[in-house]
Amino acid sequence: MDWLTIQQLDKDTWALSEPRHWEETHAYLLAGTKQALLIDTGLGVCDLFSAVRSLTSLPVTVALTHAHWDHIGGCNGFPAPWVHRREGPWLERFPLSREAVLQNLTHGAPPFPPGFELDTYQIYQNGAGGLLEDGDCFQLGNRQVFCLHTPGHSPGHLCFWEPERGTLYSGDLAYEGKLDCFYPTTDPYAFAASVHRVAALPVTVLRPGHHRLEVEPCLLRQIDEAFQHLKARNALEQKAVHSFHSFSIHTA
Ligand SMILES: [Zn+2]
Ligand SMILES: [Zn+2]
């Protein structure tokens, strides 16, 4: 299996994934008739730019669900990425040290591809191309993609919503695996409110930021119920990993 896998999801949408790394990140390329949108850029281990160029010759805008290192890694080569205004500064000065990022990157000793040099690995720090707010919209020609501010996992977390196709790109707000709301910059109450908000949308296709790609949209309702359950028991502020059916919630 290659480090970067490309899966065509429909005639003009692709997932670019890194399944050999424990984080199993997904970036998504959405091609419209005039513009393409790349949602997230993965770990920065492989040449994402060439992969995207092999799929479309359209101008590409990069939009980030959030500015964590595992979503901004492949930004180099593209025009500077768009991010929610609350995380613009993180694209110039990342809040974690390079050592901490390398610890995560090398966890489990992943079989990095030939040509990748750990010594020269850099976190993207070239700034934002633009700052986003809730309700902003990317016009791709025949496709419209809306930004939903869904804080909690991080202060400026965004989900991207394509209402015409009922598709939600959920970043780190919803996936099968451990949902993280224990960092100093997370807010479990905001996380709960954000999940509650997107669970009310008519989502027919859910595209997560990590782990299994083929997840059912009912996952949103399940995560929403789990947060409500923890909130009712005052458990959101306690340090714990709460396990549910196909996901867990790491609090405090
Ligand atoms: Zn994250
Ligand atoms: Zn992530």
The answer, yes or no, to whether residue 182 has pLDDT greater than 90, is: no
For position 6, what pLDDT does the model report? 98
* CA–CA gap between residue 116 and residue 132 (Å, rounded): 32
Q: At 118, is the pLDDT very low, low, confident or very high (cuts 50, 70, 90)? A: very high
pTM, rounded to two decimals: 0.97
The answer, yes or no, to whether residue 85 has pLDDT greater than 90, is: yes
Residue with tokens 């080569």: 77
* CA–CA gap between residue 231 and residue 168 (Å, rounded): 25
Centre of ligand 1 to C-alpha 69, Å, is 8
Q: Which of 40-49, 50-59, 83-92, 180-189 has the lowest mean pLDDT?
A: 180-189
The answer, yes or no, to whether residue 8 has pLDDT greater than 90, is: yes
If you count DSSP H runs as helices and E runs as strands, how many of each does the chain have, helices first? 5, 15
Centre of ligand 2 to C-alpha 223, Å, is 17
For position 183, what pLDDT does the model report? 81
Residue 151 sits at φ, ψ, to 5 deg, of -70, 165
Nearest ligand to the CA of 180 is 1
When pLDDT is averaged across residues 118-128 and rounded to a whole number, the result is 95
Torsion-angle region of residue 211: left (phi > 0), alpha (psi -120 to 50) or beta? left
For position 158, what pLDDT does the model report? 98
The answer, yes or no, to whether residue 13 has pLDDT greater than 90, is: yes
Centre of ligand 2 to C-alpha 100, Å, is 15
The answer, yes or no, to whether residue 1 has pLDDT greater than 80, is: no
Centre of ligand 1 to C-alpha 210, Å, is 10
CA 29 vs CA 59, 114, 169, 203: distances in Å: 12, 25, 11, 19
Stated as kind and residue range, the H or E segment containing 228 is: helix 218-232
Residue type, 170: S
* CA–CA gap between residue 90 and residue 67 (Å, rounded): 6
Centre of ligand 2 to C-alpha 82, Å, is 17
Residue 62 sits at φ, ψ, to 5 deg, of -100, 130
Q: At 184, is the pLDDT very low, low, confident or very high (cuts 50, 70, 90)? A: confident
Beta-ladder partners of 179:
249
Residue type, 208: P
